[in-house]
A and B are shown apart, each in its own frame.
Chain A
Amino acid sequence: MSKEVELDCMGEACPVPLIKCEKALEGMDVGDVLICQIDHSCAMKNVPEWAREQGHNVEIEEVDDGEWEVIIEKVK
């Protein structure tokens, strides 16, 4: 059974959300899903871009004005 991890990056400035995601993904297994909550508009662009470049599946959901969830499925 794959697990789902929530990561609270609200109020964090770049590059903290990306580093936190990187660390969280390291400790996860293939198939696990990481949900990163962010409210930094730059992280909303660079976290998904970075994750896609790493080869993971990525979706972005706009949760509220200026708040997003970046959903990353670990692929490798």
Chain B
Amino acid sequence: MGDQPQTANSEGGIRRSTRTRTRKKKKNQIPLGILAFLLIVAIGIILSLTVGNNVALFWLLGSVFGFILQRSRFCFTASMRDPYLTGGTNLTKAVLTAFAVTTIGFAAIKYGAFTRGLPIPGQSYVVPISLATAVGAFMFGIGMVIAGGCASGTLMRVGEGFGMQILSLFFFIVGSLLGAAHFGWWKLNFIVRGPSVFLPDVFGWVGAVIVQLFIIALLWIAADKWAKRKNVSDGH
């Protein structure tokens, strides 16, 4: 039963030399954590009373996203980088799972609005496909790997106290400004001719969800096999 006394090294333990390093006494940050929680709630309440419910909702949603990202060490950068760099695909599979679950929820909300004749929410995220998409995504892919985090990852790591990501956040903002300054040129030459494709317009609502989930499933299987193949070839 669980009430039996546990030995200090129940796993058997890895033998290591006993070192006489003086260790700092660990500080206890839990009270600060509780304070941070209370501040997040208080700021939410103050925002809703002074500015409005909408900004308060966004503040709370942001806090929840930050909390989830940090607690699960979720990292979109690693999901794209690790299959090539280390052969690991655990995060890739998790990101694909998130795509699948969110697709189902989004499709339901959008379809519900559509059948009631209401404007479909979130359609501003269905954007034109052009050379700008390809070039921008390619640049973003390089940037996130060398900077050690994408946009959400960088914000999360700022919260965790990474000096490097505070610097990359600043230059992310500078880069955004440069991108915005050149946006007219990209729009005029490429984006304006790019098609926006909403999959339900092509496959129908049910068809679009099925096609997308099928593609996600295929990618998930490919990621799973890729990790196993990599591990086998490493084991020679």
Contacts and interface: CB of A to CB of B under 8 A. Distances in A.
A24 interface: no
Interface in B183-236: 227, 231, 234-235
Interface string A2-16: 001000000001110
B231 A15 contact: no
Nearest to B160: A41
Contact of A46 (B26, B78, B165): B78
A54 B86 contact: no
B121 to A, nearest CB: 33
Given A13-B162, A14-B75, A50 B29 contact: no
Contact of A54 (B90, B148, B165, B234): B234
B78 A14 contact: yes
Contacts of B63: none
B83 to A, nearest CB: 12
B135 interface: no
A14 to B, nearest CB: 6
A18 B26 contact: no
A15 B149 CA distance: 10
A54 B26 contact: no
Interface residues of A, number: 28
A45 B73 contact: yes
Interface string A35-76: 100000110011001100111010100111110000101001
B9 to A, nearest CB: 9
Contacts of A46: 73, 78, 82, 88
A64 B23 contact: yes
Given A42-B73, A54-B231, A76-B235, A64 B24 contact: yes
16 contacts: A13-B148, A13-B162, A14-B75, A14-B149, A15-B81, A33-B14, A42-B78, A46-B73, A46-B88, A49-B88, A54-B231, A55-B235, A62-B26, A64-B24, A65-B27, A71-B16
Given A15-B82, A59-B14, 6 more contacts: A15-B86, A22-B86, A33-B15, A46-B78, A54-B234, A57-B14
Interface of A: 4, 13-15, 18-19, 22, 33, 35, 41-42, 45-46, 49-50, 53-55, 57, 59, 62-66, 71, 73, 76
